[in-house]
Amino acid sequence: MIKLKREKDINAMEKASKIVGETLEMSRELMQPGITTWEIDKKIEEFIRKKGAIPSFKGYQGFPASACISVNEVLIHGIPSKNRYLEEGDIVTIDVGAYLGGFHGDAARTYPVGTINEDKKRLLETTSQALEIGIEALKKASRLGEMGYEIQQFVENSGYSVIRDFGGHGIGREMHEDPFVPNFGEKNSGPKIRTGMTLAIEPMISMGEYPTMILEDGWTVVNIDHSLNAHFEDDIAITKDGLKILSRV
Ligand code: MG
């Protein structure tokens, strides 16, 4: 069931989402060769708690850290590790959530470490653009499927594939609410767009094939062909005045 939010709920959720946006901006500075993903996670947790919020991911279904940090071929749910040092040329997805005032925010960015090659640059730009295309499509859409359709067209025309096994979601008092928000599909499909919807939109894109698998740790997701991938996510609300992006600062 899709839980529609009142204006005051959206305002409360925006506070949590903004902290996530600020955390992601802060994290960008941490993308330096030699730092471990464990150190990045500690700084992220500290930052979120200093803002008076709680890291949504910590302990979520047993997840052991505050941020999912996914390096290179890891798509999502990378576990921060004291043994994982960043290197020049890596691409790193920081996916983070914050809980404040009864609501969650959840957003992600894939960042470069130092200088990255042209292939990686184009992948990051395309994924970031796919999120913009999704948001623009949603502004005009009458059904959710129109957004997934536009994202898929754009991504596949760019020579990449769209992840099918994971996608966006409703968000609010729970981090994952209905509906599932696919980044692919048919135009005339999915739930009707309604005022009060709050969604996390998150295109995930692979340079290779789209099927994925989970590694032995029970969390880490990679593409089955171990191709490079990227992931951008923002929270939006459909308000009476139109679409509002909640997680950007
Ligand atoms: Mg999400």
**95 C-alpha to center of ligand 1: Å?**
8
Q: How far apart are CA 176 and CA 169, in angstroms?
A: 6
Determine the distance separating the centroid of ligand 1 and the alpha carbon of 100, expressed in angstroms.
16
For residues 85 and 40, the answer to whether their CB atoms sit within 8 Å is no
Question: Residue 14 domain-assigned?
Answer: yes
DSSP E strands, 54-192: 54-55, 67-71, 74-76, 91-100, 103-112, 161-162, 168-170, 177-181
167: containing domain? 7-245
Residues 13 and 104 sit within 8 Å (Cβ to Cβ): yes
- 142 CA distance to ligand 1 middle (Å): 22
pLDDT digit string, tens, across residues 172-211: 999 999 999 999 999 999 999 999 999 999 999 999 999 9
Residue 169 pLDDT: 98
pLDDT average, residue stretch 72-96: 98
The arithmetic mean of pLDDT across residues 216-222, rounded, is: 97
What is the C-alpha separation between 214 and 77, in angstroms, rounded?
A: 9
Average predicted confidence (pLDDT) for the chain: 98
Per-residue pLDDT at 120:
98
The phi, psi pair for 139, rounded to 5°, reads: -60, -35
Distance from Cα 200 to the centre of ligand 1, integer Å: 6
In a domain, 204, yes or no: yes
Ligand 1 centroid–CA 234 distance in Å is: 8
Residues with Cβ within 5 Å of ion ligand 1? 106, 200
139 within a domain of the structure (yes/no): yes
Ligand 1 centre distance from Cα of residue 38 (Å): 21
Q: What value does the CA radius of gyration of the chain take, rounded to a whole number of Å?
A: 17
CA of 166 to the centre of ligand 1 (A): 9
What is the model's pLDDT at position 18?
A: 98
Count of residues in the chain:
249
Q: Is the dihedral of CA 211, 214, 219, 220 positive or negative?
A: negative
Q: Count of alpha carbons within 13 Å of 227, Cβ hemisphere only?
A: 20
- Give the count of alpha carbons within 13 A of 241, CB side only: 4
What are 100's two structure tokens?
């404040």
Expressed in angstroms and rounded, the spacing between residue 232 Cα and the centre of ligand 1 is 10
The first and second tokens of residue 145, run together, are 């499927």
Percent of all residues in the chain with a pLDDT value above 90, rounded to a whole number: 100
Give the integer Cα–Cα distance in Å for 139 and 242: 7
Q: What percent of the chain has pLDDT over 70?
A: 100
Query: How close is the Cα of 96 to the center of ligand 1, in Å?
Result: 8
- The predicted pLDDT at position 69 comes to 98
Residue 130 lies in a domain: yes
Q: What is the whole-number distance in angstroms between the Cα of residue 175 and the centre of ligand 1?
A: 8
CA of 181 to the centre of ligand 1 (A): 10
What is the distance in A from the centroid of ligand 1 to the CA of 202?
7
**69 falls within a domain:** yes
We report the CATH number of the domain holding residue 73 as 3.90.230.10
Provide the domain count of the chain.
1
What token pair was written down for 89?
Answer: 């040329």
Instruction: Measure 168 CA to ligand 1 centroid, in angstroms.
Output: 6
Is 165 inside a domain boundary? yes
Is residue 2 situated within a structural domain? Answer: no
By the 8 A CB rule, do 68 and 77 touch?
Answer: yes
pLDDT digits (tens, 9 = 90+) for 126-170: 999 999 999 999 999 999 999 999 999 999 999 999 999 999 999
- pLDDT of 44 reads 98
Q: Is residue 1 part of a domain?
A: no
Say how far apart CA 110 and CA 113 lie, in whole Å: 10
Q: How far is the CA of 105 from the centre of ligand 1 (A)?
A: 9
